Amino acid sequence: MNDIECATDFAWLPKVELHCHIEGTMRPATVVDLAVANDIELPTRDVESLFQYEDLTGFLDVFWLVQSVLATPDDWERLAFESMIDGAAHGLRYREAFFTPARHLAAGQDLGEIIAALDRGLDMAERITRARCALILDFDRDFGAAAADAHMTELVSLKRAGRPGTERVIGIGMDSTELGVDPMSFVSAYSQAPEAGLRRTAHQGENSGADAIRAAVDGLGCERIDHGISIFEDPELVRRFADEQIPLTVCPNANVRINPGVVADLGDHVFPIMRDADLLATLNTDDPALVGLDLDQEYALCAETFGYDTGDMVAIALDAACASWLDDCDASVLMVEIKAAAAGAARAAADARSAAEARPLMPLSA
């Protein structure tokens, strides 16, 4: 729910989202419901004022508060179900969603139960919508490298045991505070990924420098970077990302709302410069409920602000399918669907134009 008005509408465009925290999709009403059910104190039950913050630190406090209401497997299941129902309503067809269970595991929850519950909720939503969702286990940097190591070991053993839902977990990432954290301190957890068949990404360059982006790619083996907006500090790295088409999962509106000290206005965002530099830069919401906009609005606001036409937005949607961790066959199916929707939208626009031209003019004095 939000009050953003966009002149354009991309609900018709099948969209792929690669940077979205499932906890950040939680409906405000669900936050309140779960807080009451689990006896967790909220600063307010006024859904409008619950999601208020001034900067990344304040935002993370709200994010952690939202996470804290997830106390039982049923809560995770409900979150996953509602998340995909809400996404699909705005043209989402495929998402690779982060979940960050560090604080829940520290509080005694069980990783296998969390994954199974997320899987149940996603499965139910997938039966109702045409949208699909894979999961990425994010390490919370605030909990440190030892916790990441332990979570990685647990994930690998759950996957090896074929525990329910673990086939949905296709990769690892890390989020939360970037400043003052050396990405290389997480090398032990990341180095276990290839053998377990897990893909690798990391939040870097949201408020860390290009050196941290480079370390994530070279030192941790990341195949994608989440945010990456500081990449232009290092022109050689920009060329490398363009040459190797290393994807960046960019969240322009979230950057403005969460981090106005870094990106004051959507018009100041480097997203169009990334696209002009041939970077594989995709559009994402990050935390749609907390940021107050859906993926359709993300596309519409970026189109309006950066002067993109329908063809540009279709190209961005296709790039997201290409940057996904789907196998080639499934990615191609999505691309065909995106192209078919684009062709349909072009036909509808042409029909509307000819209908308008064929309409007889109203006489002035009828």
Active site residues: 206
Beta-bridge partner residues of 136: 98, 171
CB of 307 to ligand ADE, least distance (A): 26
Nearest to 21 by CA among 91, 106, 83: 83
176 binds, among Zn ion, ligand ADE, none (CB under 5 to 8 A by kind): ligand ADE
Closest to Zn ion by CB, 168 vs 224, is: 224
Judged by CB under 5 A, which stretch of 45-53, 208-216, 282-290, 306-314 contacts Zn ion?
282-290
Nearest to 66 by CA among 23, 104, 115: 23
Closest to ligand ADE by CB, 168 vs 203, is: 203
Closest to ligand ADE by CB, 119 vs 206, is: 206
Closest to ligand ADE by CB, 134 vs 263, is: 263
CB of 101 to ligand ADE, least distance (A): 13
Interface of this chain with Zn ion, residues 328 to 347, rule: CB under 5 A: none
* CB crowding 100-118: b at 16 or more within 10 Å, else e: bbbbbbeeebebbbbbbbb
Residue nearest to ligand ADE (CB): 175
CB 88 within 8 A of CB 130: yes
With binding defined as CB under 5 A, does residue 298 bind Zn ion? no
206 binds, among ligand ADE, Zn ion, none (CB under 5 to 8 A by kind): ligand ADE
Residues sharing a CB contact under 8 Å with residue 205, sequence separation 6 or more, in sequence order: 178, 212, 213, 225, 227, 228, 229, 230, 231
CB 280 within 8 A of CB 323: yes
Residue nearest to Zn ion (CB): 286
> What values do phi and psi take at 327, rounded to 5?
-70, 165
Closest to ligand ADE by CB, 2 vs 57, is: 57
CB of 258 to ligand ADE, least distance (A): 5
Q: CB 60: neighbour CB atoms within 10 A? A: 17
In the chain, where do the E strands start and end?
15-21, 92-99, 132-140, 169-175, 199-204, 224-227, 248-250, 281-283
Distances (CA, A) of 365 to 85, 150, 272, 357, 359: 51, 80, 50, 21, 17
CB of 243 to Zn ion, least distance (A): 26
CB 151 within 8 A of CB 190: no
SS3 107: coil
Beta-bridge partner residues of 250: 283
Residues sharing a CB contact under 8 Å with residue 153, sequence separation 6 or more, in sequence order: 192
Closest to Zn ion by CB, 286 vs 296, is: 286
296 binds, among ligand ADE, Zn ion, none (CB under 5 to 8 A by kind): none
Q: Which amino acid belongs to residue 162?
A: G
Among 23, 138, 286, 296, binds Zn ion (CB under 5 A): 286
CB of 103 to ligand ADE, least distance (A): 12
258 binds, among Zn ion, ligand ADE, none (CB under 5 to 8 A by kind): ligand ADE
63 binds, among ligand ADE, Zn ion, none (CB under 5 to 8 A by kind): ligand ADE
Nearest to 98 by CA among 189, 208, 30, 176: 176
CB of 101 to Zn ion, least distance (A): 15
Q: What is the DSSP string of 274-343?
A: HHHTT--EEE--BSHHHHT--HHHHHHHHHHHHT--HHHHHHHHHHHHHHSSS-HHHHHHHHHHHHHHHH
24 binds, among ligand ADE, Zn ion, none (CB under 5 to 8 A by kind): ligand ADE
CB of 26 to ligand ADE, least distance (A): 12
The residues of the shown chain that bind ligand ADE, judged by CB under 6 A, are 21, 24, 63, 175-176, 203, 206, 254, 258, 286-287
Closest to ligand ADE by CB, 60 vs 170, is: 60
Give the interface with Zn ion as residue ranges (CB under 5 A): 286
